[in-house]
Amino acid sequence: MAESQSLYLCLLLFLFLHLLLPLPPALASSTPTPTAWPHQFHSVLFINSSGNLQKTDLWYDWPNGRNFNIIQHQLGVLKYDLEWNNGTSFYYTLDPFNHTCKVIHFDVGILRPNWLDGANYLGQHYADNFLCNVWEKVDFIWYYEDVLTRRPVKWIFYSGMIAHVMTFEVGAVLEDAQWQAPVYCFNEAETHEKSSSSKALLDSEASGALGGSFMREITTQHAYVK
C-alpha cells in the first residue's frame, strides 16, 4: 500500500511540475507563421486573370539572384519573363513566334525568401480541397499554405488574379544556359525605367501589360508600401 501511495504522489508531482514548465516557442503561440520559401524551387502554376488563363513554370533561384517565369497563354504565345536581383527584367518571345523583347529596369530586386514576414494571419480555410493556413499581405495578396505539408496551394491578388500551385519541387534548379536572354534583347529591345514608387506601374503589372509577370509585381508592391 505504501509503495502504491508513493508512486501516486510521484505521478502527481510530475504532472504538477509539467504544468509549471513554459511551453516551447512553437507551442506557446497559437498563431502560425508562413513558411519561408526554399532558396531554390520549381513550381507549375495555373493562373486565371479575369478569365484569361495561363500556365506558368516558375523557377526561383535566390542564391544566384534570379527568377524565371515561362508563361504559356491559353492557345496563345509562349512568353519568357526573366528577372534579376539587380532590378533588370527581360520580357521576350522565341521561335516559332515573332522575336520581341522588352527590357525594364526596376529599383527593386526579386522576392526574398522571407517576403511573407509580417503578413496578417486570417485563420484556416479550404482551398482546392486542401486545409490551408491563410495570410494577407498589405491588402495585395492572399496566400494559402497547406496545413500538413506547409507547401503553397493558392495565391489571390488584389486584382482578382488567382494562381493555383500544381507542383512545388524544392531544390530544383534550371540549368544556367536557360537563363540567357536572346541577343536581340541587347541590341534591339525596347527599354524602360520603372520606379517601385509608381502606382501606375503596379496597375500595368496587374493588368498583365508586361506579359503576365506577378513575381515582380509582388516585389514592387512590397517596396511600395514600405
Q: What is the average pLDDT score of the chain?
A: 82
End-to-end CA distance of the chain: 69
Q: Three cell numbers at 199?
A: 502606382
Q: Per residue in 125-150, is it b (16+ CB within 10 Å) or e — as a string? A: eebeebebbbbebeebbbbbbbeeee
pLDDT tens figures, 97-144: 999 999 999 989 999 999 999 999 999 999 999 999 999 999 999 999
Q: Three cell numbers at 155?
A: 495565391
pLDDT tens figures, 187-207: 865 666 654 443 344 344 433
Which of 16-30, 59-73, 88-102, 165-179 bottoms out in mean pLDDT, i.e. has the lowest? Answer: 16-30
What strands lie across the sheet with 78-84, from one edge to the other?
A: 120-127, 130-137, 141-146, 152-157, 162-170, 40-49, 52-61, 66-73, 78-84, 88-92, 101-105, 190-193
DSSP classification of residue 93:
-
For residue 17, what pLDDT is reported?
A: 42
Phi, psi of 214 (to 5 degrees): -130, -20
**Domains in the chain: boundaries:** 40-120+159-224
With a cut of 80, say whether residue 49 has pLDDT above it. Answer: yes
Cβ contacts of residue 10 below 8 Å, gap of 6+? none
For residue 110, what pLDDT is reported?
A: 95
